[in-house]
Structure 1
Amino acid sequence: MSRPDSIQSRMRRMAVVSCSFMAAVLAVTLALALVYNSQYKNLLYNVTTASEFNQDFKENIDLKMYYYVIESRYSEGLPIQEVQDAQALAKDLLDSTSQKDSLQAVTSVLDLCENLEEKIYQIEQTQSYDSRQMQLENNVYVLTALIQEYMYNYLYYESVQLNLLQQQISRQMAAEILLVLLLSAVLIALLVRYSVRLSRSVAQPVVDLSRRAEDVIGGDLTVREPVRSETYEIRTLSEGMEQMIARLNAQIQETTQKQASLRKAELALLQAQINPHFLYNTMDTIIWLIEANRPQAAVEMVSDLSNFFRHSLSRGEDIITLGEEEEHVRSYLQIQQARYKDILDYTIRMDPALRETRLPKLTLQPLVENALYHGIKLKRGRGCIRIASQAEGAAVLLQITDDGAGMTAARLEELNRAIEKGERVGFGLVTVHERLRLLFGPPYGLTLSSREGAGTTVTVRIPRRGKEEA
């Protein structure tokens, strides 16, 4: 097997192939012209096709869905065809788009159209008027706005890219003509003289650049000084690599911040999901107590309701003590027991030594709500919800146990699988579990055990951390 040519030997052969230089320059110029022409046609086609997007897309979809939800006589049915037309337009653009920002925008349009179609069918299958209105406002209106925004962004990116390409073609053609004229005059005289010098100036920087690439492949993303070289291409490549590494580090940090913001948004969403019917029913119970000449009971319920929402806010803090969480869930159970006094009992036995343990607020209340509505209320007769805490090494276990309807083994397996995979089923269990995993890591979160007809136990595992450690 022959030994591969080194970079230096290839550089020396430049003197031999100097006569073919002009032909190569002409071939490259022609190839670039063909490439630019192809790129220009693609961009022009994308801009023209994107311009066909209905500018009144959001208004049309929102209005037709509103008429459908309120069952207006002006309703024309579900606007599926408009959504599918937008999908077809996005798919057509997807096949001819290569620019990164444009590709992200049109991909987002396609994904959002698919999501919008699912939400429209979901509204069709929903019977409750309030639920349909909520889905219309929280899903359809938001998705149509995003689709329209991303399509406009796509048109903007492609238009900008088209303008840049025109400028680039003009500059490139002028540079190429000038370059050919200059190099034709001086190449033969300078080629032999600079070939040896060029080989020396290229070989070592290429070796350095190759080693730097190996370090990056090995996971070293530390930004360094670019490789020193007299060759423009190598210096530009090295500087571009370091800039790319710097941007990659910035994107990693940005992604981390976005994930944290996303989880905060999920917490805010969980708070917002406190059923307004809970407040309405509580107020109705207070009115009934007053009308029944039981003012003291009404005062106690108002106090419980005040404590419940005060602890929900928690002075804007996301992490609170177990003692505060206990007071919050106690207020909730006192209110619910007043409403369901014929079927609901509860006990709370918390270890006083664990009161300062820190955990995300609204950890226990959704689980207790599940126990009431999906356990106690589905059985006949009275039921009891038991809440307890205990230390287990460096962890704290919180258990919410009910003696309600329980669940089948298949349903239990489905919920446990959904919790581990983050699937959106299971009465808010996944959201509570993900928040705990995000804050404390994989060893912590929820586990479920249940037996049909006997009840369910949800175990919350959190680290035993005080205020200083949280």
Structure 2
Amino acid sequence: MYFAHALYDPYRSRYYGTILVVIDESCFQNLYSDLIQDNNHFSVITEDGLIISDSNAELLNTSDSTLRDIARKNSDGVLEYAGEKWIPSSVYNQYFDFYILQLTEYNAITSRVSPSILRILELCCFAQLLITVVLICLLQKITRPIHRLSLAMQNVSDRDLLSRPEKMNFTGCSEARLLGESFNEMFSKLEYYTKKLMQEQDARHAAELNSLQHQINPHFIYNTLASIRYLSMAGQREKVITGINSLTKLLRKTLGDIRETIPLEQELDLLQDYFQIQLLRYGDGIRLYLNVQETCLSAAVPKFFLQPLVENSIFHGFSTNTPCGSISIYATISGSILKLEIMDNGAGIPPDILMHIMDVSAKNNRNSLTKIGLKNIEDRIKMIYGPQYGLNITSTPGYGTQVIIHLPLIYFEGEKCYEKSSKDSHH
């Protein structure tokens, strides 16, 4: 490559010679020869588009304005040249006024980079999956014992406290094991105190029932002795002896029986014995009618609970001078319920008295001893069977009184009781 330049003397204003510079093209090649690869292209191009050096020898000493424009822009993007995509990179040499341009094939780079990227993506996905699995395992190790503990706490019921399942073993982190051990310890203490509380409640329940039973016995004896006293004052010696014998027979049946419930058939026998004593005093003016289904006879009922109701009808429903009337007792089965009705055709109960008839406060009621039986029955029924059971009293003055009692249908079989379903109760 040749470069010629005139030598000019400005002081003399004349040319005094010519300088000729000869540069071998290999000098330019040395600028990029170490960088040449199969997928790139190097060119040294002047400002006017002359290619003074090129990795493709066929383009040497040719002009290409397109390459010059590419070198001038030196863009970082992808461009098309000669029907292919290239990534350009150029450097301008201001002393010699030329560009060194490098074009790299886009497909060659992407073909090498894409597998690497895919490989990196695969590794990233695998690492993410592995991390996810590890996190899930760690979370399950922490949350699974807590979930088991929450389920165990939700399933705790009164029945579980009485028949506790096997002790639960909690695994996992130390916090979860600590919670599990605390739960087991709490459950053990709760089980102990629950059983202790139930024992105390059973003892209190039995004591209250005994107290109620001890209330009804003196109450019954007092009224019976009052009847015998009345007969004695009337000079009816034979009836007094018969009454004492009947009372002795009745007490032998009741005081020696510690059961709180007996079959209805036995309760009716006791009632008839008691009624015979009252007939000694009042004569045949009062009649007792029993209308009981045969299937009801073996049903369990509270012991001696009909006597206070019949006694209440006799003392308050009929005139004490010339008592006359009837007392009817009905017993039927409706589903799994035993229904008893005690009806009399006596004087009835005034509404104001009916509202307070269950109040047995001795301070406010002089006749509390005669009415203690009604409250006693109500309390005993609720204590034995639950608050949903009890008695209901309706009365119309001048027509009579009706007492309705609902009890669960429980049968006696030998000395044991068992609850009967509604299907079994129909014969």
TM-score (norm 1): 0.46
Q: Rg larger in 1 or in 2?
A: 2
**Which structure ranks higher in relative contact order (CA pairs < 8 Å, sequence separation ≥ 6)?**
1
**Larger strand fraction of residues:** 2
TM-score (norm 2): 0.50
